[in-house]
Amino acid sequence: MVTYNTHPDAIKILEGVGEVVISKKLITSEEELIELARDADALMVVKSVEPVSERVIENVPRLKIIARVGVGYDNVDVRAATRRGIWVTIAPVNSVAVAEHTLALIFSLARKIPLLDRHVRSGLWYRSLGTPQNLMGVDLWGKVLGIIGLGRIGREVALRARCLGMKILYYDIVRRKDLEEQLGIEFKNLEDLLRESDFVSIHTPLTEETRHLIDEEELRLMKPTAYLINTSRGAVVNTKALVRALKEGWIAGAALDVFEEEPLPPDNELTRLDNVILTPHAASYTAETYRKLAVTAAEEIVRVLRGDKPLYPVNQE
């Protein structure tokens, strides 16, 4: 069972091993998911909002694998799946796309691209024959980028940012001395990273330990000229604290691809702020990566249904 429309190449792969049921709309409730997946041997979870809870897992008796089309799996109860002997897999093939999106957001913040675009479209540039001081950007060369989470995506961001002449700091629960010289990066504890960075980019999974990792106390540590970028999971940042920080000038701005509530309601307070850039959980949304993610998840399902072990499990036997 496929929880939402995905790449046709992935569907063809799945059709080679059995009947494929595809949900025509986004699934956001346990009841909907149970109804559609009740007889499934495999579940391909396309989005990050489908509630693959213990209740859902217990009501799909033939289930052998839950394959996420992506790397985040906080909407899947891994413990419940593991107790049932069900594989939970990810598709860790989106690192380059997310890293590129992160850099696009950093550039947009530094050079105020969305505000400049509005300035031209509104006719203000034509009428004023100039660009006001509040639209002046900053150079990235020589700035400090702090990366929280040095996994696959964090490493790709560091590699690219170094080419821009940025100084790279990182924080991770595991210090990676093997990568420090290779990438030209420096380890810092979280507090020092926040104090010293001009741009802070989050690349950590959502766990009980990382939920609201960035809260009021952490935001107050940042420079008033600093920017926060989040392309990981929305709940890693306390949204209420971030809104206050943006309104009161604790930080200069933010760029968010992920949110505590998704899809983000149009009346959310973030949508009314000029110093935040918002994208719709689209960091992986390139033609190439869209296909790779779906095909990787489909191939994991085929492996398990044929009696083999998956390549990218998050739980072990």
What are 114's two structure tokens?
Answer: 């969305």
Report d(CA 162, CA 239) in Å as an integer.
Answer: 29
Question: Would you tell me how many other CB atoms lie within 10 Å of the CB of residue 65?
Answer: 23
Could you please report the per-residue DSSP string of 153-202? HHHHHHHHHHHTT-EEEEE-SS--HHHHHHHTEEE--HHHHHHH-SEEEE
Q: Which 3 state secondary structure label does DSSP give 133?
A: helix
Instruction: Respond yes or no: is residue 303 known to be catalytic.
Output: no
Q: Which of 156, 281, 299, 300 is catalytic?
A: 281
DSSP 8-class letter at 271: G
CB distance 11 to 41 below 8 Å: no
Q: Which 3 state secondary structure label does DSSP give 242?
A: helix
Question: Would you tell me how many other CB atoms lie within 10 Å of the CB of residue 57?
Answer: 26
What are 193's two structure tokens?
Answer: 């990273």
Instruction: Respond yes or no: is residue 203 known to be catalytic.
Output: no
Antiparallel, parallel or unpaired: β 144-148 and 167-171: parallel
Q: Which of 68, 196, 233, 300 is catalytic?
A: 233
Report d(CA 315, CA 317) in Å as an integer.
Answer: 7
Instruction: Respond yes or no: is residue 119 known to be catalytic.
Output: no
Residues 6+ apart with CB under 8 A from 8: none
Alpha helices in the chain (DSSP H): 8-15, 30-37, 54-58, 78-83, 95-111, 113-121, 124-128, 152-163, 177-183, 190-196, 216-221, 239-248, 287-305
Report d(CA 291, CA 249) in Å as an integer.
Answer: 41
DSSP 8-class letter at 309: P
Q: Which of 195, 262, 269, 303 is catalytic?
A: 262
Catalytic residue annotation: 233, 262, 281
